[in-house]
Amino acid sequence: MGAVGETEVSESQIAVHWREEDYYEPPPKLIDQANANDPAIRERFSEEHFPDCFTEYAELLTWDRKWDTILDTSNPPFWKWWIGGRLNACVNCVDRHLEARGNKNAFIWVPELEDQETKEITYEELHRRINEFAALLRDFAGAQTGDRVTFHMPMVPELPVSMLACARMGVIHSQVFGGFSGAACGNRIVDSQSKILVTMDAYYRDGQLLDHKLKADEALEVASNQGVEIEKVLVWRRQPGEYHSESPMVDGRDFFVDELLEDYRGQQVEPESMPAEAPLFLMYSSGTTGQPKGAEHSTGGYLSYVAGTSKYYQDIHPDDTYWCFADIGWITGHSYIVYGPLALGTTSVMYEGVPTYPDPGRPWRIAEKLGVNIFHTAPTTIRMLRKVGPDEPAKYDYHFKTMTTVGEPIEPDVWRWYYHTVGKEEAAITDTWWLTETGGFLGSTLPALEKMKPGSCGPGVLGINLVIYDENGEEVQKGSGKAGNICVRNPWPGLMQTIWGDDDRYVATYFAKYCRDKQSQDWHDWPWLCGDGAVQAADGYYRILGRIDDVINVAGHRLGTKELESAAIQVEEVAETAAVPVIDELRGKVVEMYVALKPGFEPSDEIVQKVSQIIERDIGKIARPKNVWIVPDMPKTRSGKIMRRVIAGISNFADVGDVSTLANPEIVDEIREQVQSAKVARGDVPRELSPEEMEEIKAFGRVE
C-alpha cells in the first residue's frame, strides 16, 4: 500500500493517473447522412432488449432459412446464436450484390510500387474469380465442407478471393499473417490439421520483392516433423506466368494456381447453405508461450456482428470508398476489410505495402486518388506517419467523414494529430477497442451521436454491457478512479465459439476467473474476461490501460504501461515509447523506458531527463524510470505492435524468446548491444532471474 501521486492503491489495483481530456463533438456534416443518427438506437440495444436487439444485425443478412432461436444457452458457456438459421457467407458478401451493384468495385487493390497498376475488382469479377478458385479447391485439391485450409498470404486480392471461395463451400479458412515465419505457419497447420496450404511466390514490402514461397517449405517441414503432412501447396503468382522465388516447386505437391485455373474458367460452384453455427474461419491469436490459440468464429453470429458494427460504427454506406489500412492476416482485416464492408456492398480498398513507401505522403495520395472517405488504421501507423511526415496530410485533397483507430490504446497526443492533421477536423474518430476473440468492436463511440474523448474508447458498443471487476469479483464503480479487469457481462453474436480443439482452455482463459456458477445456464453467471485493465470515468467512458499481463508492479504499485508511454510521448522529440519492467533488488521491479525519436533529433541527456521528469510529474516518483534508452527503433510485429517482452528480455539480460515473427528482427541485436553494454559499463547488471521471474518476463506483453 502507498501513495502514488494523489491516488491510493492496493496491491491488486492498477494505479490511474491519467488526466481527463476535453470532448470533441461529432462533425455536423456527418450527422444527417449517418446510419446511426437516431439517439433511440441506444434504447433499442439496451440490456432490457437483449438478446432480441441483435436481430437488427441479423436482418442485414440474407438467410436461406430464418433462425428459430436467437440465443441458445443450454451448453454454458458455449453460447449459440441464430439456431436453425442457414446462410452462406460468400453469398452475403458477393452474390446478393450482383443484381444491383455488379459493376461496382468490391475491392480496389493498390500495389506498393506506384508505377504498377491499381486493380479494380467489381463484384461481378470477384464472383467469377471466387467461383473458379472454389472449383479448383474442390475438384483439384479435394477440399470439402468442414475441412480446414491454411493460407499464408500477403495483402493481395487473391487472399479475399481464396477466403470467400472457402466460405462458399463451408471450408474453414485459417489465414496466417504473411509476415509470420514459416515455422509459425507450420505450427498453425498442425493445430488446425490442414491438408492444403495456399500461398504466394513473392510480394512487395518497402520496395523489395520478398521471396515468400520459401516460407512454405519451412512451414511444411515444421508440420511434417509434428506428423501433419500437407498434400497440396497452391501457389498464387503475383504476376501470373512469372515465378519470383528461390524455392523449388515440388513435383506432385506444389502447383501454380494461375496454371490450374485455366481448367476452371467460367465454372460455378453452388454455395453451401451452412448452419448459422458452422465455423467460418480460425484466427490464431497471440498466446505468448505454448500452443497457438485458434479463435473459432461462426458463420451467422460473426457475419451479423461485423455487418452491424460496420454499418453503425464505421458508418459504411454502399457508395462509400472505405479504406482499412490493416492486414487481412489479423482479425481487423477479416472483419473490417473483407466480411463487414462486403456484407454491406461497399468498396473496400486494399494496399499491399508499408505506409511510408516511397514517402510518408503515400497514404494521403491513395486517399486523394481513390476518393477514400472512411479511413481506418492502428495507432502504430498513425505514430509512424506523424513521426516521419507530420505535415504531409495537408498537401493532399481528401476528405474523411469517419476515421477509426484500432489495436492498442492511442495516446491523447497522437489522437489529436490524427484528428486535426489527418482528419482536418472534419472527421469523427472512433477509437475501437476489441480483441481477436470478440469478432468485432466492444468499445467505441457512435460517430454521429456520441462525443469523442482522446485516449478513451468510449462506452460499450451497442448491445455490449461492460463491467469492471476487481480481483475479488467486486464491481468497480464508474468515476471511482480505480482500475480493474474489464469484462463483458452478456454474450454477443461476434464472440468466438471456442479455442479450436480446446474447449477447456477456452473456459479457463475467458470465464473461469469470474464465473459465479459453473452449472448455470443463465448467461448472467458467466462474465467474459477480456484480459485488459480499464478504468471507467464518471461519464461512462472506458479507458483501456493495456493487457493485464503488461502491468508493471513497482513495490506493490501496479502501473499500466500505456500510462507511462502516454506520459513519455508528450516530450516533443519523442515519436514512440515502450515501458518495461526490470528486476530490482530493492523494489521488486522498476520501470525502464525505451524511446525512439522523431527524425531530425539526436539522442541527448536532455531528452532522457525530459522523459524521466514528465513521467515523474504525471504519474509519480515511484514510476521514475531506472533508465531511459533512446533506441533507433522498437522491435515490432508485422501488425505494428511493440514487442515489449523482447525489450523486457534485453533489459533483464534474459532470453528474448522467438523473434522470427518480428517485422524488424535485426533491431533486436542492435538494441541488445546498446543497452547491455551500457548496463555492464555502469555495473547495472541484474542478478540472474528465477524461473518464475523468467516466465513472467516472457509473458510480458500479449503479442507473439
Counting Cβ atoms within 10 Å, is residue 127 exposed (0-12), middle (13-18) or buried (19+)?
buried
Is 377 a binder of ligand PRX (CB under 6 A)? no
Is 435 a binder of ligand PRX (CB under 6 A)? yes
Nearest residue to 440 via CA among 326, 322, 302: 302
Rounded to an integer, what distance in angstroms lies between the CA atom of residue 116 and that of residue 351?
Answer: 12
Identity of the residue, 21 or 120, whose beta carbon is nearer to ligand PRX in the bound complex: 21
Rounded to an integer, what distance in angstroms lies between the CA atom of residue 491 and that of residue 127?
Answer: 34
Is 305 a binder of ligand PRX (CB under 6 A)? no
| Candidate list 433, 500, 523, 542; residue touching ligand PRX; CB under 6 A | 433
Shortest-Cβ-distance residue relative to ligand PRX: 436
Question: What DSSP string runs through 608-669?
Answer: HHHHHHHHHHHT-GGG--SEEEE-S---BBTT--B-HHHHHHHHTT------TTBS-THHHH
Is 431 a binder of ligand PRX (CB under 6 A)? yes
Is 457 a binder of ligand PRX (CB under 6 A)? yes
For residue 353, CA distances in Å to 331, 364, 366, 430, 578 come to 18, 14, 12, 24, 25
Identity of the residue, 91 or 350, whose beta carbon is nearer to ligand PRX in the bound complex: 350
Is 175 a binder of ligand PRX (CB under 6 A)? no
Instruction: Name the one residue in this structure whose C-alpha cell is 448455470.
Output: 520
Rounded to a whole number of angstroms, the minimum distance from the CB of residue 183 to ligand PRX is: 20
Identity of the residue, 324 or 583, whose beta carbon is nearer to ligand PRX in the bound complex: 324
Is 332 a binder of ligand PRX (CB under 6 A)? yes
Identity of the residue, 171 or 303, whose beta carbon is nearer to ligand PRX in the bound complex: 303
Site string for ligand PRX, 387-416 (x = CB under 6 A): -------------------xxxx-------
Is 327 a binder of ligand PRX (CB under 6 A)? no
**Of the ranges 19-27, 50-58, 419-427, 528-536, which one interacts with ligand PRX (CB under 6 A)?**
528-536
Identity of the residue, 95 or 565, whose beta carbon is nearer to ligand PRX in the bound complex: 565
Rounded to a whole number of angstroms, the minimum distance from the CB of residue 635 to ligand PRX is: 16
Beta carbons of 178 and 327 less than 8 angstroms apart: yes
Is 340 a binder of ligand PRX (CB under 6 A)? no
**According to CB under 6 A, which residues from 487 to 526 bind ligand PRX?**
none
In 500-626 the beta strands, taken as DSSP E runs, fall at: 528-536, 542-547, 552-554, 557-559, 574-584, 588-597
Beta carbons of 439 and 331 less than 8 angstroms apart: yes
Rounded to a whole number of angstroms, the minimum distance from the CB of residue 98 to ligand PRX is: 31
For residue 265, CA distances in Å to 139, 157, 261, 269, 309 come to 13, 18, 6, 12, 36
Is 432 a binder of ligand PRX (CB under 6 A)? yes
Rounded to a whole number of angstroms, the minimum distance from the CB of residue 286 to ligand PRX is: 6
Rounded to a whole number of angstroms, the minimum distance from the CB of residue 509 to ligand PRX is: 12
Is 434 a binder of ligand PRX (CB under 6 A)? yes
Counting Cβ atoms within 10 Å, is residue 426 exposed (0-12), middle (13-18) or buried (19+)?
middle
Beta carbons of 597 and 573 less than 8 angstroms apart: yes
Rounded to a whole number of angstroms, the minimum distance from the CB of residue 238 to ligand PRX is: 27
H/E element, 42: helix 40-44
Q: Reduce the DSSP state of residue 121 to 3 states and report it.
A: strand
Rounded to an integer, what distance in angstroms lies between the CA atom of residue 367 and that of residue 369?
Answer: 6
Rounded to a whole number of angstroms, the minimum distance from the CB of residue 268 to ligand PRX is: 35
Size of the site for ligand PRX (CB under 6 A): 20
The side-by-side arrangement of strands in the sheet containing 483-488 is 466-469, 483-488, 528-536, 542-547
Cβ count within 10 A of residue 541: 24
Identity of the residue, 19 or 265, whose beta carbon is nearer to ligand PRX in the bound complex: 19
Counting Cβ atoms within 10 Å, is residue 330 exposed (0-12), middle (13-18) or buried (19+)?
buried
443: which DSSP letter?
B
Is 452 a binder of ligand PRX (CB under 6 A)? no
Rounded to a whole number of angstroms, the minimum distance from the CB of residue 297 to ligand PRX is: 12
Is 547 a binder of ligand PRX (CB under 6 A)? yes
Identity of the residue, 197 or 422, whose beta carbon is nearer to ligand PRX in the bound complex: 422
**Of the ranges 50-58, 150-158, 211-219, 530-538, which one interacts with ligand PRX (CB under 6 A)?**
530-538
Identity of the residue, 130 or 461, whose beta carbon is nearer to ligand PRX in the bound complex: 461
Is 532 a binder of ligand PRX (CB under 6 A)? yes
Is 544 a binder of ligand PRX (CB under 6 A)? yes
For 208, residues 6+ apart whose C-beta sits below 8 A from its C-beta are none
| Candidate list 162, 174, 285, 299; residue touching ligand PRX; CB under 6 A | 285
Identity of the residue, 354 or 530, whose beta carbon is nearer to ligand PRX in the bound complex: 530
The type of residue at 87 is L
CA 52 to chain centre: 28
Instruction: Name the one residue in this structure whose C-alpha cell is 525502464.
Output: 592
Q: Report the interface residues with ligand PRX, using CB under 6 A.
A: 285, 331-332, 406-409, 431-436, 457, 530-532, 544, 546-547
